[in-house]
Chains A and B, each alone.
Chain A
Amino acid sequence: MPIAISLRNISKRYRLGTVNQRMMLDDLRGWRDRVFRRGKPAAAAPPAATPEFWALKDISFDIKKGETVGLIGTNGAGKSTLLKLLARVTTPTTGEMTINGRVGTLLEVGSGFHPELTGRDNVFLNGAVLGMSRGEIESKFDEILDFAELHQFIDTPVKRYSSGMRVRLAFSVAAIIEPEIMILDEVLAVGDLGFREKCLHRIEVLASGGQTGLFVSHSIGHVSRLCSRVIWLEKGTVRMDGDTDVVCEEYRKAQIIKLAVHSPSHSAALHLAGESKNSAYKILAVETRDGQGRPAGRFRTGEPCRIAVKYSNNFHLEQAIDKVTLRLSILNEQGNRLIGLDSSLVKPKLIPFPDTGAVCFVIPKLPLMEGTYSFSLALSVNGELIDKVIPDAFFLVEDGDFYGTGRAASPSFTPLCVDFTCYLEGERNPAYKILSLETRDIHNRATSSFRTAEPCCIAVKYAKNFPLNEEIRKVTLRLSIVNDKGIRVIGMDSSLVKPLFVPFPDADTIYFELPKLPLAAGTYSFVISLFMNAELIDEYVPDVPLTVEDGDFYGFCRAALPFFAPVCVEFICYLEGRKGLHPPMRGYLEGEEIPAYKIQSLETRDIHNRATSSFRTGETCRLVVKCVKTFPLAAEISKAKIKLLILNKEGVRVLGLDSRMVGGSLEPFPDQAAVCFMLPKLPLVAGSYSFSLSLMINGELMDTLKPPEFLLVEEGDYYGTGFLTPAAFTPCITDFTCHIEEWKSSVFPPDGLSNDRASLPAEHG
């Protein structure tokens, strides 16, 4: 691609201060020296009385035809000098510069206009100054006129134009005549908004149409909108040259670092103490603070921001103060007011107004985009302006997540963030929105495939869309699980287990935990509805399926048949006289108290470690209690114990086994513990028995469980004598001996009393 602009080692030197102050005599002497004492430069060289300033140092770059390049840099970086060189207004001190094509410049719009000439004449004159021939201008004249929208004034002298009309005309000339290389220097700060947008659009059209362009701007927004490449000048040298996004990002970072270094103070005392003597009050300082009230100079978009304006009084006002108004403006880098906060809008009178104090403005969500901002303040008392200052305090704003969606707004698109929602007409516009649903397993890992009876946790995330006018008194979340035929198989209503859910945070996660997933194998989906004050706020059908595979819900190593039982419910099946159990179901907010360890099940096993529930009296019986961890315990486990009670069918405790009683140490307690109680000889008489379990950790009751398992005991030969122990005679069996002793006394061994030595081997009499 042909080169439009080529710069090779361009430098530009300025002599500071002295240029016009040299006396004519000095010059004459200089000339005389040069003419008569050639070859003695030492004598002619003036002492270092003229300090030099290199506005540009060794700049080299090429701009190809059709490229639009932005020039950025702080004040004094050499941007304007470079533009002047390119516009051929001034010459480089050293180096070589080639420009292919006519340069059109808008360095200062309208400076070429002569006030006495009509608009038409000025268009021609301006075009001619830009190097156009008369014929060329004539052929473009109508287009210029259309763009400027000045048809009826075109034959009026320009001196009668408003400044806006002049700008429009001047830009139109420059924009329409299509110079091959277009140079723009911060022109877009002028004109009304509509025309500015039109200009930007025109430049975009030109840029996309292969126009070579060079734009200088302080506004990264404009540059990134118009340019594909950016050259960053710093102190007269090229600091960075490359892709717009990369350079702009680096530049922005550097600016922020620089500002942060240069101004550690985020508040500024005003240097205006002596100037407002005759006003009753004066503004002393302004300070920016973060959400916690600590002084801060840097904020993120969307963060809370407080601005404290300190004032004091000079003298007492004669009249009574009945109204005080403080107006705070936040200005952007160009000095344009972006936000105007008028205290009277939210606090009409601001009285009583103390003699000294501070007026605080709180912005809950800072709507400003990244950049530096300054203030302007005006204090009025009784409707009269008392003090007006523009402090030299400023604060920085960085990219932030204003909308809580994890995305930052683009500064080139929006200058200010405002809360808004967007929805199709007729759609619901909920105040709170359910964002997502996630299913998690026992280890809190996201998964969508479960087995029947596995613990399953359903996490529902929600967030506030906009504030609700009314007070939130009750929140209900209804979670339905629907099978593949569209039939609701489970409906969980949070109000059943957690009635109110207030206070309701703006954004949080609600958990539904099913300790044992009661669903038969199949695929399921969810429907969530959120009710607020008994009103449906949002309904959400997540795109998250739930796959359930066969699992052993009842602990009998048997899976339920899906076609028979769509949902497994805890049940026991017994002959008259027994109690049923409620299926457990809980809904709770994250962080709520739930047991760290849970007793999951109890298994009864025979001597060969086979699961069975029927025993004979005197057989070896193992009782295995399975415990699982549900979430990590903060404290270390120093003491764990399990109590196992065996109850007879009347619900009366017949045996109580405490793991501590036999000295069994359960520490360290594993995450999944199977604690085995072994009874070498089952001391129960025939009958059916049930259990009750409790788990204590560090002396604290963790969980209790009345497992559905029961124990069926038949008559057996406890004593190994070949006789069955009759249940009707003794409710409890104990080891005893019976023999004949010498007649020494009338004392007979006691009968039917149990002792604690259950583990002693039986003696046979």
Chain B
Amino acid sequence: MSEPSSVSWKYTTNRGSIMAGLREIWQYRDLIALSVRRDFIAVNSQTVMGPLWYFIQPLITTVAFTLVFQGIANLPTDKIPPFLFYMSGIVVWYFFSSCLSKTSLTFTSNSSLITKIYFPRLTIPIAQTILNLWLSLVQFIIFLGFYAYFYWNGAPLHPSYRVIIIPALILQTALLGMGVGCLIAALTTRFRDLQMVVSPAIQLWMYGSCIFFPRSMVGEQYQWLMNINPVVPIVESFRFALMGQGDVEIWQWFVSLAITLILLVVGLWAFKRAEENFADTI
């Protein structure tokens, strides 16, 4: 038998090293690819418009935001065309929140498989994140389409060399969403109640993340909140890189990066703990 993926492990009460874990995930890369495919098909099966919804969903929200926050509440948008302003926030937030919410369901939605068979559990959040990355990429391209439209119509947009940080921002968003999601996933194995809180909490988080208002609008007494919210610098940097308007200092982004990494490490650590006990606690 030629078994390139043949594995051998010593399994003790001590936890395995992180490197061994990463190597194992690499061995299961085909599983990740297939899981992405599975989830994509599963989500779109038997819907009439299929993946088209990924275009429509942010558009509807953007139109709604434009009507409500611009038309009615008349919130400022830092001189950016309101439609682009809201859409940029929504694209980033959608990516982040879907990474977070899908990852947080890792154990509960896959329990039948997890309690029966071993595979590196981390492949599930990774696959979810990759899937959401693809879907958000589509949304980003739509956003670029509108961006081009507004640009040609003479809107005050100032694209610059700074766009090169956008991939880094996307990666950070993905890791942040996955980190927080893993933490919640781990906690929900012990405290089921958290599941009920996740959705409203994400909603709340959005309100504090400069999605439909610019950071410049936030009062002095709440600036600390903006500093510790790692999403705010991401959103602001995104706007700043593409449209030349945004309220972000470089140190704020580094703080956000640090918080992202901390949350990721804590999330993965908790996830690892949870996966060992999950089969017993379910």
**Which positions in A face B, CB cutoff 8 Å?**
14, 19-20, 22, 24, 27, 84, 87-103, 105, 107-108, 111-112, 114, 116-117, 121, 124-125, 128-134, 136, 157, 178, 180
Q: Which 10 A-B pairs have the closest CB atoms?
A: A88-B118, A128-B31, A90-B279, A97-B11, A116-B45, A100-B8, A107-B116, A134-B30, A89-B279, A116-B42
Q: Can you report 19 residue pairs joining A to B where beta carbons are below 8 Å apart?
A: A19-B281, A20-B192, A22-B190, A27-B190, A27-B191, A84-B279, A87-B116, A87-B118, A89-B115, A89-B118, A90-B277, A92-B11, A97-B10, A98-B9, A102-B3, A114-B42, A130-B117, A131-B119, A134-B33
Question: Which residues in A have their C-beta under 8 angstroms from that of B42?
Answer: 114, 116-117
Who on chain B is nearest to A100 by CB? B8
Query: What is the number of contacts between chain A and chain B, taking CB atoms within 8 Å?
Result: 127
Q: A20-B190, A91-B11, A128-B31 are in contact. Are A136 and B116 (CB under 8 A)?
A: no
Check B17 for interface membership: any CB of A closer than 8 A: no
Check B153 for interface membership: any CB of A closer than 8 A: no
Q: A96-B12, A99-B9, A111-B113 are in contact. Are A128 and B28 (CB under 8 A)?
A: yes
Tell me the smallest distance from the CB of A80 to a CB of chain B, in Å.
11
Who on chain B is nearest to A130 by CB? B117
Check B27 for interface membership: any CB of A closer than 8 A: yes
The answer to whether A131 and B5 touch across the interface, beta carbons within 8 angstroms, is: yes
Q: How far is the CA of A130 from the CA of B37 in the complex (A)?
A: 17
Who on chain A is nearest to B46 by CB? A116
Question: Which residues in A have their C-beta under 8 angstroms from that of B46?
Answer: 116
Q: Which of the residues A90, A97, A121 comes within 8 Å of B37, measured between beta carbons?
A: A121
Check B56 for interface membership: any CB of A closer than 8 A: no
Main secondary structure of the interface of B (DSSP, over half): mixed
The answer to whether A108 and B3 touch across the interface, beta carbons within 8 angstroms, is: no
Tell me the smallest distance from the CB of A112 to a CB of chain B, in Å.
5
Q: A90-B280, A125-B38 are in contact. Are A132 and B5 (CB under 8 A)?
A: yes
Q: How far is the CA of A134 from the CA of B32 in the complex (A)?
A: 11
Q: How far is the CA of A103 from the CA of B31 in the complex (A)?
A: 16
Who on chain B is nearest to A13 by CB? B280
Check B7 for interface membership: any CB of A closer than 8 A: yes
Question: Which residues in A have their C-beta under 8 angstroms from that of B3?
Answer: 102, 136, 180
Q: A20-B192, A111-B112 are in contact. Are A95 and B13 (CB under 8 A)?
A: yes
The answer to whether A125 and B116 touch across the interface, beta carbons within 8 angstroms, is: no
Tell me the smallest distance from the CB of B274 to a CB of chain A, in Å.
12
Check B249 for interface membership: any CB of A closer than 8 A: no
The answer to whether A111 and B4 touch across the interface, beta carbons within 8 angstroms, is: no
Q: Which of the residues A125, A130, A131, A134 comes within 8 Å of B35, measured between beta carbons?
A: A125
- Which residues of B (41-78) have their CB < 8 Å from a CB of A? 41-42, 45-46
Check B130 for interface membership: any CB of A closer than 8 A: no
The answer to whether B280 and A19 touch across the interface, beta carbons within 8 angstroms, is: yes
Check B193 for interface membership: any CB of A closer than 8 A: yes
Interface string of B1-28 (1 = CB under 8 A from A): 1011111111111000000000000011
Q: Which of the residues B5, B117, B279 comes within 8 Å of A112, measured between beta carbons?
A: B117
Tell me the smallest distance from the CB of A627 to a CB of chain B, in Å.
85
The answer to whether A93 and B8 touch across the interface, beta carbons within 8 angstroms, is: no
Question: Which residues in B have their C-beta under 8 angstroms from that of A94?
Answer: 13
Question: Which residues in B have their C-beta under 8 angstroms from that of A107?
Answer: 116-117
Q: How far is the CA of A227 from the CA of B152 in the complex (A)?
A: 76
Who on chain B is nearest to A103 by CB? B118
Q: Which of the residues A14, A89, A103, A134 comes within 8 Å of B116, measured between beta carbons?
A: A89
Q: Which of the residues B8, B118, B280 comes within 8 Å of A101, measured between beta carbons?
A: B8
Who on chain B is nearest to A185 by CB? B116
The answer to whether A92 and B13 touch across the interface, beta carbons within 8 angstroms, is: yes
Q: How far is the CA of A14 from the CA of B280 in the complex (A)?
A: 7
Q: Which of the residues B6, B31, B112 comes within 8 Å of A180, measured between beta carbons?
A: B6
Q: How far is the CA of A92 from the CA of B193 in the complex (A)?
A: 28
Tell me the smallest distance from the CB of A83 to a CB of chain B, in Å.
10
Additional 13 contacts, C-beta under 8 A, given A92-B13, A121-B34:
A20-B190, A87-B116, A90-B277, A99-B8, A101-B7, A103-B118, A107-B117, A116-B41, A116-B42, A128-B34, A129-B31, A129-B119, A136-B3
Who on chain B is nearest to A98 by CB? B10
Question: Which residues in A have their C-beta under 8 angstroms from that of B1?
Answer: 178, 180
Q: A19-B281, A89-B115, A128-B34 are in contact. Are A121 and B9 (CB under 8 A)?
A: no
Question: Which residues in B have their C-beta under 8 angstroms from that of A134?
Answer: 30, 33-34
Q: How far is the CA of A743 from the CA of B46 in the complex (A)?
A: 159
Question: Which residues in A have their C-beta under 8 angstroms from that of B5?
Answer: 102, 131-133, 136
Question: Which residues in A have their C-beta under 8 angstroms from that of B192?
Answer: 20
Question: Which residues in A have their C-beta under 8 angstroms from that of B190?
Answer: 20, 22, 24, 27
Tell me the smallest distance from the CB of A712 to a CB of chain B, in Å.
102
Q: How far is the CA of A101 from the CA of B277 in the complex (A)?
A: 23
The answer to whether B30 and A20 touch across the interface, beta carbons within 8 angstroms, is: no
Who on chain B is nearest to A137 by CB? B30
Question: Which residues in B have their C-beta under 8 angstroms from that of A88?
Answer: 9, 11, 118
Which among B34, B38, B46, B114 has the greatest number of chain A C-beta atoms within 10 A? B34
Q: Which of the residues A100, A114, A131, A180 comes within 8 Å of B28, measured between beta carbons?
A: A131
